[in-house]
Structure 1
Amino acid sequence: MLIKRILILLSVLSLSAETFAGTVILKADDFGRGSGWDQFLLYVVNNDIPVNIGIIVSDISNERKIKTRDLIKWMAPHEQQFAFFYHGHDHNCDIASSIFLTGSGERQSKIINSDLRALFSIGIVTTAFGGPCNHGNKYTGLSLESNGFKQWLLPYVRTTGFNGETFTNRVNIESTPGKINISNFLKELDDFPENYNDTIVLQFHPGMWKTGDMNSFERAISAINRKNWSYRLLK
């Protein structure tokens, strides 16, 4: 009887530990752009950290093609640590011409479909979307749904027509793109209650990082790990 009670108690404790555990989605934008990707990828591989990487489709066919494809080749033996998400065709953030702000549903769907085929041609399959500058309009949800997407990162519009998962709880690790504010991030992280069991998104731009930013990212990862939170890949 005593052994049975102990087993029940251990089961309850285990369930509690699992229930009250936050999840972190590391959202690394603008794959291949900037000089900081090498140091970032080396760090996450050496420390077994899962990362979701935003790939811009035009970068696999323009002047960044060689750099982008070289990085993909280097990452291949470690593919279990990485997932790509669709980060738009050309990262146009202009409010007057951005496809995900001004485009009709038909136009968005056509471009998305073409981009997915381009990614497939180099071995990348994704069902996750994070718009350039987190853009989207009233047609984006249905356009993503019709192209088989299952996850949408940081949608700042109504996700009408989209039936997949949406992740809106962003915790700021950069004060501006490419510049980590570690003190602000650590404060935000400390504000989460011990029983937090939802998902947060950390969006950042490692290609723009200097050595000091990389050091700050390592501090951020250490803080997350001390909370015993898990990391999620969007596959």
Structure 2
Amino acid sequence: MPRDTPYLQVADALRDRIRSGEWAVGDKLPSRARIAEEYGVGASVAQRAMERLTIEGILEGRAGSGTYVRRPRERGRMIRTRRPYATSPFRAALNAQDHEGKWESRSAARTPAPERIAERLDIEPGDLCVVTDYEFLMEGLPVQLSRSWEPMAITGDTPVVLPEMGPHAGIGVVERMRSIGVVVVRAVEIPRPARADQEQANLLGISIGGLITEMERTFYDIDGRPVETADIVVPDVRWEIAYEIAVERRA
């Protein structure tokens, strides 16, 4: 979306004034009508601008009181490690920071694999998979997105065909696969810097064009067969990503 959109111009101006210290944490902003008058825009434009800053975590509305400058959200550290995951990687990252992670998901079975996914899973394009979209939450706010693909040739006739349903829901790929005799021994992650598109920005509550890290992750079993691959989206404003690399010690 171009930056000459009026509500984005107003949002940028208000954000700059907050960052410069004109309004401190806890200060009440002028009314929507006052802001609209100051910037020569309609009330709806001023409202959208303030809603934009609320989504970004800069402002907060208080019922019956007004809109206030919010304490900045903490930027967490997401540890990526070579150690086996005993739970979902997202939950492990938040547990390390004494936070509880939750997520919402929706799965679709019998989804034909597009060419790029088929290549990552070493299957034929069009082979059937289960695709699951995740929205990960911390303190009720979206902090990570993921789209996961699993070949139905591996899970199709098992109790774990749907990742977030059944007796092993929510425990992560490694333990789910183990429950059906598939031993996952390694994962490969490829991080790439990117800018949020409109859909990603809307889901994560960040600005369009905001910095994100896109991670292509694939799990492999003991025979080197890919068993799951996922596209993970991490907003830079919420997370810095750190890789923990074990150093082998010689006797």
**TM-score calculated relative to the size of structure 2:** 0.25
Which of the pair is proportionally richer in strand?
A: 2
Higher relative contact order (CA 8 A, sep 6+): 1
Give the TM-score taking structure 1 as reference length. 0.26
